[in-house]
Structure 1
């Protein structure tokens, strides 16, 4: 599903990684591990086309996603889902509106569309659609982010330290749902320092710190 080939990235004169090549198949959970500064979050951003490689390429479902053409934009819209450490919600928007941001047209959906109410019930937030995101606790905001993934049903999920700000109960919910996404055929990539997250992964990719 994800193919990274000969990828390199610098920060100024500092090399984060170079010649990096790996695949992530459907149903696989890959944990990106390594010390702070080794480029875990940057690699996620490059996979999601928030940043670009200095050299190398990435394909998702056989399409080069770094381009600006229509096919690349469609792949990013249809296939990619994000789970951020800071939750990635718009604070002044309602829960419903934050979820609708990720919704793709029914004609482009790969499965049966999931209603917002059903997604919120699944993550334990039934009846909270009209609440503003800033009114929720951190754990509740991450649950909204999970509901957004349930609605979109992406083929690729990129998660950046998704449990670091959560208590044990909410962290377990995040990991359980990521397991479910993988079991349904999604490719999941998680940047993490947490041993319990790494233990859930099917594959570990270690990024070393070249200055260490």
Structure 2
């Protein structure tokens, strides 16, 4: 798998991350969600995760993001066996190497945009002033310049997703898991989300994007399909 586009990097590239899945399966309440999945992702890029409704795309993202565990097989992330991860190792990977772009934005509605971004910035190895400037620059990059003090509940859905994007820009995780991030957005905001995810992938991140839209799949570097 190779990335097909190139853009100037906007900051230090995250160290590359790899995912090796060997015959993994997931069962919930005795019901098989998926089984026999094997794949390797070992280079930065934008990967489409596709499949019919109910095929388990969100469940797989949650397992890759260590919010859940597989029921069997072997899952290796960043050289660590996370089939049954130790809590401290899971916490370290989640904090420093993994980022999410949730369909429901995953923001605290009573906080400001800047406060939501600051949560992710806690794990950035840089001085306080540099991180503060990075937060403002990230909001500017997603078209929310001057909105750092706006409460999340006062923002539109598209603006909230932009805040979530700014949070990723500041954190710069090596693995980004995006769950249908454009499904509830208008075309302008959807394009901004896809453009930003592409830039993050070109800057060294492995981005896995769950989608059922053919137009989104066509913008990705590779396709991972669930039956």
Give TM-score, length-normalised by structure 2. 0.85
Alpha-carbon distance between aligned partners in 2 of 1:3 and 1:108, rounded to the nearest angstrom:
31
Alpha-carbon distance between aligned partners in 1 of 2:122 and 2:23, rounded to the nearest angstrom:
32
Which residue of the partner structure matches residue 172 of structure 1?
191
**Contact 1:24/1:30, CA 8 A, preserved across alignment:** no
Alpha-carbon distance between aligned partners in 2 of 1:144 and 1:75, rounded to the nearest angstrom:
22
**Contact 1:64/1:72, CA 8 A, preserved across alignment:** no
Structure 2 spans left out of the alignment, 5+ residues? 1-17
Which residue of the partner structure matches residue 99 of structure 2?
81
User: Secondary structure of 1:178's partner?
Assistant: helix
Which residue of the partner structure matches residue 152 of structure 2?
133
1:4 matched to 2:34:
no
**Contact 2:95/2:123, CA 8 A, preserved across alignment:** no
Kindly tell me: are residues 51 and 69 of structure 1, through their superposed partners in 2, closer, same or farther at Cα, counting changes over 3 Å?
A: closer
Kindly tell me: are residues 15 and 108 of structure 1, through their superposed partners in 2, closer, same or farther at Cα, counting changes over 3 Å?
A: farther
The Cα of 1:69 is off from its aligned counterpart by: 4.4
Which residue of the partner structure matches residue 192 of structure 1?
211
1:36 matched to 2:60:
no
The Cα of 1:104 is off from its aligned counterpart by: 3.7
1:58 matched to 2:75:
yes
Kindly tell me: are residues 125 and 69 of structure 1, through their superposed partners in 2, closer, same or farther at Cα, counting changes over 3 Å?
A: same
The Cα of 1:57 is off from its aligned counterpart by: 2.9
Which residue of the partner structure matches residue 42 of structure 2?
25
Which residue of the partner structure matches residue 204 of structure 1?
223
The Cα of 1:60 is off from its aligned counterpart by: 2.2
Larger deviation: 50-59 or 33-42? Answer: 50-59
**Contact 1:32/1:190, CA 8 A, preserved across alignment:** yes
Give the RMSD, CA atoms, in angstroms: 1.8
Would you say how many aligned residue pairs link Structure 1 and Structure 2? 206
The Cα of 1:102 is off from its aligned counterpart by: 1.1
**Contact 1:116/1:147, CA 8 A, preserved across alignment:** yes
Give per-residue Cα distances to partners, 1:149-186, cap 9 Å, x unaligned: 00000100000000000011111111111111111111
The Cα of 1:11 is off from its aligned counterpart by: 2.9
Structure 1 spans left out of the alignment, 5+ residues? none
Kindly tell me: are residues 136 and 37 of structure 1, through their superposed partners in 2, closer, same or farther at Cα, counting changes over 3 Å?
A: same
Which residue of the partner structure matches residue 202 of structure 2?
183
Alpha-carbon distance between aligned partners in 2 of 1:107 and 1:172, rounded to the nearest angstrom:
30
Give per-residue Cα distances to partners, 1:4-60, cap 9 Å, x unaligned: 222101233432211211122232222111111100000000111111111123222
Kindly tell me: are residues 38 and 170 of structure 1, through their superposed partners in 2, closer, same or farther at Cα, counting changes over 3 Å?
A: same
The Cα of 1:135 is off from its aligned counterpart by: 0.5
1:152 matched to 2:144:
no
**Contact 1:158/1:188, CA 8 A, preserved across alignment:** yes
